[in-house]
Amino acid sequence: MGIEDRVERVLRKLKLNKFYPFPFARSGFWQTVYGSHWPIMKASKPDGFHHIMLDDGDILVVAENRPPEWQPGQRIMLLVHGLTGCYESTYMQRMCRRMHKKGFLVLRLNLRFSGPGRGLARKAYHAGVSEDTREVLEWIKLKFPNSPVTQIGFSLGGNVTLKMAGEDGSRPSGNLDSVVAVSPPIDLEASTLRMASPENQFFERFFVKYLLRDARLMLEAFPDMEPFAVPTEPTVHAFEEIFATQRAGFKSKREYYDKCSSMHFIPDIKIPTLILSSIDDPVVDAHALVKVEHGKNVDIILTDKGGHVGFLGFGTTYDEVRWSDQAVARWLEDTVAI
């Protein structure tokens, strides 16, 4: 069965129309830009923050939004952000608000040295930190032992989510029973090259701006840390060399790409999974999804248009403009009976 037939099967199952972008946002560039800046109804302020101590002493900060009617034993949604994001990223707030309105406890994870976790972690995150999300899931199981968990990752967080699910196979971490990945860079090397291409350097400059900020803040927060040279000509590729190779213990970028690209782990995922991506994404290269092997438990929706975490277009109902959010909600309703 080809990718088109597989996608069509998923859309029929979810009773979801094909994605049709708004006329003013037909390109991946504008889908990505408008997708990031389109007005949203923000999530309510977190009810509290949890600090989770990792085995190496670093601390992760998790924001919690708990509906009044939620009871222990009911489902939890764990959201994981993308590169240079945090719990306040627009896509994190949108999904938090949607899931909170449906009555689920929502936990928004800030990866190392992100958001309110700046200054609490000496290490930086990268696209393969599945051990960190695994520790968070085990913490959730201790705190809410009878609550099933769905993990939803966006962009880099989507790759981390898929990698972890594949590594765990038929023994998922904690109470995890389903995962979703939106715009994940499942082929890290191809994605880095795609963003470095001349037509996509607008987005590379955006990410580099915040990577530079975080690098400088990390050096200021930990003056005793072994210094690292900030690139004179910074690129995402150069920061991979620092954070994902030198400081994360990989011998080379090749080893990092090989060991952390989730396309190598998707065939081993055994729990219900949704992967949603677009061919015209200017930030990640989604072409590997066309041929990646996967089980019947993995649903793939690969569109021609949509950009990176964009998908602004005509939904099944008149008031829906975020087709991807609608697709995730439909899939969850169909798969885990929320």
pLDDT digits (tens, 9 = 90+) for 180-205: 999 999 999 999 999 999 999 999 99
Give the per-residue pLDDT at 280. Answer: 97
Quick one: pLDDT at residue 326?
93
Positions of the chain with pLDDT lower than 50, given as ranges: 318
Q: Lay out the sheet containing 149-154: strands in order across.
A: 48-53, 59-65, 105-110, 76-80, 149-154, 176-182, 273-278, 298-303
Model pLDDT for residues 234-243, shown as the tens digit of each residue? 888 888 877 7
Of 271, 338, 321, 337, nearest to 299 by C-alpha is 271
In this prediction the pTM is: 0.94
Q: How far apart are CA 321 and CA 312, in angstroms?
A: 5
> Residue 61: what are its φ and ψ, rounded to 5°?
-115, 130
Single-letter residue type at 264: H
The pLDDT, as a whole number, for residue 337 is 66
Question: Which pLDDT value is given to residue 144?
Answer: 97
Question: What pLDDT score does 319 carry?
Answer: 53
Strands 273-278 and 298-303: parallel
3-state secondary structure of 24: helix
What is the tens place of the pLDDT at every residue in 265-311? Answer: 999 999 999 999 999 999 999 999 999 999 999 999 999 999 999 99
Show the domains of the chain with their CATH numbers.
Answer: 3-335 (3.40.50.1820)
Per-residue model confidence (pLDDT) at position 216: 85
pLDDT at 155: 98
